[in-house]
Structure 1
């Protein structure tokens, strides 16, 4: 799921070991979307002999404060060895309330500014990569790439700046400062990497030509394939694991469960800005909903094992989500559970192509009706292996990392050739 750069040089020249500097607002030992993606990619890069320097804040996600021992979370302005031999350069952070968007932005801005002096030290990398949606991190990557005179790669894990307008972070017809900054960096990056083909096409329509796609994925070998749910069960179990934010519209799930009664059980696992409101709504509606904090490892697998269907959800009134795929989609497909998919666009295409479940409209009534039908015909819950096979072919990090390395190698090779040409 990656588009080669012009000339398809990567197909002819396998990636040679290089030094990559990764700028990210969240990394090991935290559990977050960039951490999950880049821990897997870094492992494969290191196996291929690449040197990886990670510049990241002292671990403090998601609560805005360090909640791990110093030897694990890291110490500001110190170096730390990562699980795969990567070198982590820790920058300080600002303590804040984890649910405050403004406080998180100020924190990320502070850490991004502190990343510049750290990023100027040490051996010169072959390329610098900054992963968004932390916008201050993108600005830092741009500055460092110019100061160190190396190619700059922007990884857009969300559809910015489109998402900012959909979420009403920016309003009106005049472009906001946020949009201008994002577009400025995207246009001046040597390569923009997206995680969906749809957003890559959107950027190309805006005149960007240096765009490639490396989807989100998972480590398939680490994900078990579960037997189908029991054919007879008194209570239908629906499970959602992930962020509890505005983007997911989880109130729809709670309202659907309230329509169904005690023969149905909804389990919500995770955290996010809307969680307090969701808990309050479930109580007001007397809905059969159980809330759990974020879980890891065997506890997650056990929740999947208990579930009849697993939910992936994105609100349907933000256009940017036409080109967004929830990262949990790949995990649910790989583990073999039926998917209740409240999505559209590229995510809907993947669910249907993989044969992983049912796509349903984003209304409580439609979701409730689907769950009634599934409870009445439990044979539909046997999703089979087609979803896992799709993930194996399209979203296994062992393969995605090789394509990523090939793309970076091609970019660096092109940059070296241009510099030599200018020096002649």
Structure 2
């Protein structure tokens, strides 16, 4: 059920719509994980009658520059109407090379600072959502929530600050400034939303009282269910779609394909900081690998149709990944492709619960052995509808948005009771 709007006790008429401010470093018309998540959630919020205001930089992801026409990307300090009727207020960004992590952080910090004066304008929201892992956005959310006197909802889409230590962005026993800021904001948020139950449990163990989970997902009605791969085929095709960073350890899949050689082919679609090294590795090993830039829409579906199995991968030597689920997991399950899951923890549990494929160790020989067995027994590649059924029950944004709205409505209701003795809203 959609949370009903509050009613004015004096005359019984519906009160003004719920107003939500979203702070994010990436939004429509970009193609990015936060954009996919929040475009879907915003659509459902708007369908429920909520007013949503998005504060985001001029569209410049992933290359660090504006590649889209200005009427689409927006202008700094201007407003746009989004695809679902939401208001998008744009802030400036710093042009940079998209491959530089330091430059990206400086850019995000600049946009986060510029978001403060922009967020002080317009109608007062009922609540503010700040979505990470753009960590400066969390600080902006905290500042604006205090200045405007409204609840703050911090959304942790990654396991920060744990991930910083695993990636050795933070070294030694002394906590970095980044860690301190993240934990400061987390502890002072009125509600922390995680995308996995495992990380929610970790935050509760650290003393955070109001923590909830709204997982990543997809719009199931926009994703078709594909026919299984052909029962006979000369070449076995493995596919990976997504980020090419050090978190994914895609070198394992490349080395596995090199071990198999003729009769096997690996396709890698996407971009990331490790892509040049991966291209070099594939060339050195003479591995049967083809690289493609990021794809969207029908091009992605064409790649899914070509694939016999789809790879979901996270390195196994970072503890924070035990409570991390790659967002592509849900899409692969929904289209009905067999999953080669090089994951552990919560992601492993999902693959097994959904009966979506095989979980394999993060080892080239283990992956090669699995693919060789699948090529010899292609009946195992027919994953059936169980994965899609799992997504429909647990990860369809139509349902996830209902969960999110219920949590926000409950939070605002409690806050409204307290603040009624002070400033009227």
TM range, normalised to the smaller chain? over 0.9
Q: Which residue of 1 aligns with 2:74?
A: 74
Task: Please give the alpha-carbon distance, in whole angstroms, between the structure 2 residues aligned to 1:412 and 1:270.
Answer: 40
Task: Please give the alpha-carbon distance, in whole angstroms, between the structure 1 residues aligned to 2:113 and 2:208.
Answer: 27
Matches within 5 A, 1:294-305: 294-305=294-305
* Gap regions ≥5 residues in structure 1: 1-10
Q: Which residue of 2 aligns with 1:61?
A: 61
Q: Which residue of 2 aligns with 1:378?
A: 378
Task: Please give the alpha-carbon distance, in whole angstroms, between the structure 1 residues aligned to 2:3 and 2:392.
Answer: 24
Does the CA contact (< 8 Å) of 2:26 and 2:34 recur in 1?
yes
Matches within 5 A, 1:21-420: 21-420=21-420
Specify whether residues 228 and 70 from structure 1 end up closer, same or farther in structure 2 by C-alpha distance, changes over 3 A only: same
* Secondary structure of 2:26 counterpart: coil
1:420 shift after superposition: 3.1
* Secondary structure of 2:180 counterpart: helix
Task: Please give the alpha-carbon distance, in whole angstroms, between the structure 1 residues aligned to 2:417 and 2:255.
Answer: 59
Structure with greater contact order relative to length (CA < 8 Å, sep ≥ 6): 1
* Gap regions ≥5 residues in structure 2: 7-16
Task: Please give the alpha-carbon distance, in whole angstroms, between the structure 1 residues aligned to 2:332 and 2:131.
Answer: 24
Task: Please give the alpha-carbon distance, in whole angstroms, between the structure 2 residues aligned to 1:205 and 1:218.
Answer: 29
Does the CA contact (< 8 Å) of 1:14 and 1:406 recur in 2?
no
Task: Please give the alpha-carbon distance, in whole angstroms, between the structure 2 residues aligned to 1:373 and 1:172.
Answer: 44
Report the TM-score when normalising by structure 1: 0.96
Does the CA contact (< 8 Å) of 1:333 and 1:388 recur in 2?
yes
Does the CA contact (< 8 Å) of 2:2 and 2:48 recur in 1?
no
Does the CA contact (< 8 Å) of 1:15 and 1:406 recur in 2?
no
Specify whether residues 73 and 12 from structure 1 end up closer, same or farther in structure 2 by C-alpha distance, changes over 3 A only: closer
Does the CA contact (< 8 Å) of 2:351 and 2:357 recur in 1?
yes
* Secondary structure of 2:370 counterpart: helix
1:421 shift after superposition: 5.6
Deviations 1:353-381 (A, max 9, x none): 00000000001000000000000000000
Deviations 1:57-90 (A, max 9, x none): 0000000000010000000000011000000000
1:422 shift after superposition: 6.9
1:15 shift after superposition: 5.7
Task: Please give the alpha-carbon distance, in whole angstroms, between the structure 2 residues aligned to 1:83 and 1:387.
Answer: 30
Q: Which residue of 2 aligns with 1:5?
A: none
* Secondary structure of 1:96 counterpart: coil
Task: Please give the alpha-carbon distance, in whole angstroms, between the structure 2 residues aligned to 1:338 and 1:389.
Answer: 14
* Secondary structure of 1:224 counterpart: coil
Task: Please give the alpha-carbon distance, in whole angstroms, between the structure 1 residues aligned to 2:374 and 2:3.
Answer: 50
Task: Please give the alpha-carbon distance, in whole angstroms, between the structure 1 residues aligned to 2:299 and 2:201.
Answer: 38
Deviations 1:323-348 (A, max 9, x none): 00000000000000000000000000
**May I ask how many residue pairs the two structures share in their alignment?**
414
Does the CA contact (< 8 Å) of 2:112 and 2:137 recur in 1?
yes
1:175 shift after superposition: 1.3
Q: Which residue of 2 aligns with 1:8?
A: none
Task: Please give the alpha-carbon distance, in whole angstroms, between the structure 2 residues aligned to 1:71 and 1:225.
Answer: 35
Specify whether residues 207 and 96 from structure 1 end up closer, same or farther in structure 2 by C-alpha distance, changes over 3 A only: same
Q: CA RMSD in A?
A: 1.3
* Secondary structure of 2:358 counterpart: strand
* Secondary structure of 2:420 counterpart: helix
Deviations 1:7-56 (A, max 9, x none): xxxx9964654110000000000000000000000000000110000000
Task: Please give the alpha-carbon distance, in whole angstroms, between the structure 1 residues aligned to 2:5 and 2:199.
Answer: 26
1:410 shift after superposition: 0.3
